[in-house]
Amino acid sequence: MNILISGSTGLTGRRLRAALEERGHTVTAAGRTDFAGDPALLKEKVENAGAVIHLAGAPIVARWSRAYKREILDSRVLTTRKLVEAVNLAERKPELFISASAVGIYSDEGVNTEENAYYAEGFLADVCRQWEGEAAQLDPATGLAVFRLGVVLAKEGGALPKMLTPFRLGLGGPIAGGRQGFSWIHIDDLVSAFMFVLDHRLTGTFNLTAPGVTDNQGYTSALGRVLRRPVFMPVPAFALRLLFGEGASALTTGQKAIPERLLKVGFTFRFPEVEGALRDLLRKERI
């Protein structure tokens, strides 16, 4: 099958592309020129695809100026709008459209499943709502799956490598008290979940998070145990606000999300608990 992927150069996109090609699929990238150029060209790519996977989006952990907040929003909402328009105009439509979203749509209180959720207010939650709202305009002739991603744990990118240096120096610790939820998923389970939904042509909303619910304190404690380093240097919220401004909220708040739908349809996680995931990813890093 030919699969069209936006965001194919990011952490998830690179790993997913490699896995799809290993299984014999052809992968076509949708890049910035496709979204900025003639809509007919994007429509042509869509018509040649059996499935579309939409991952594009500017990084969240950054200093949020007014311009950068617009980039966070537009890089998700406008690209989704254009891809959906291309699918809706296509004479030969893909069977499935997988659109990324994030657990940031949920409140930082309670435990959220796809069917029983507490929804948040604020900038990130509003981005997720608009993001998913654009995907919902998809012609029902193409199946839609919305993936609400947690923090992707991987050795080669994302949040984990950035945390290793302070932990190696014995300066690791929880962020802003550590009580905020921490929804995460091992990169291998993430890729396997994409494959599972593609293989079974599943539709609807899915939390792409591991079943082992934890918080920031639980995550940092597990990381300290895996690295055999102390965890006693908490990072205060005000220090993050000095560094990131309003963008610090991406680190000082968090959600607890359970992948109830994936579990119900029979998906098996190789790494359901955070310490096991970290031991797998960092087995050569322990000091």
238-257: pLDDT as tens digits: 666 756 676 666 666 789 99
Q: Which residues lie below 8 Å from residue 205, measured CB to CB, with a gap of 6+? A: 114, 145, 146, 148, 261
pLDDT at residue 286 greater than cutoff 60: no
- Asked whether the predicted pLDDT for residue 285 surpasses 60, the reply is no
- pTM for this prediction: 0.93
Q: Which of 127, 112, 87, 100 is CA-nearest to residue 13?
A: 100
Cα separation, 252 vs 246, whole angstroms? 10
pLDDT of residue 217: 92
How far is the C-alpha of 281 from the C-alpha of 32, rounded, in Å?
32
Instruction: Decide: 6 and 55 in contact? Cβ < 8 Å.
Output: yes
Length of the chain: 287
Q: What percent of the chain has a predicted confidence (pLDDT) above 90?
A: 70
How many helices (H) and strands (E) would you count in the chain?
A: 12, 13
3-state helix/strand/coil string of 185-212? EEHHHHHHHHHHHHHHCCCEEEEECCCC
Structural domains of the chain sorted by starting position, each given as residue range(s) with its CATH number in brackets: 2-217+243-281 (3.40.50.720)
36-45, 121-130, 181-190, 261-270: which range is least confident on average? 36-45
Q: Which two tokens mark 57?
A: 């989006």
pLDDT at residue 39, as a whole number: 78
Reported as a single tens digit per residue, the pLDDT across 183-241 is: 999 999 999 999 999 999 999 999 999 999 999 999 989 999 999 988 877 776 666 67
Confidence of residue 263 (pLDDT cuts 50, 70, 90): very high
Element (H, E) at 2: strand 2-6
CB 84 within 8 A of CB 132: no
Give the separation between CA 228 and CA 167, rounded to whole angstroms.
9
Q: 118 pLDDT exceeds 70?
A: yes
pLDDT given for residue 287 in this prediction: 44
**Euclidean distance between CA atoms 262 and 99, whole angstroms:** 16
* Per-residue pLDDT tens digits for 79-109: 999 999 999 999 999 999 999 999 999 998 8
Which of 61-65, 72-76, 150-154, 260-264 is the least confident region?
61-65
Choice between 202 and 63, residue whose per-residue pLDDT is larger: 202
Confidence of residue 166 (pLDDT cuts 50, 70, 90): confident
Collapsed DSSP state (helix, strand, coil) of residue 97: strand
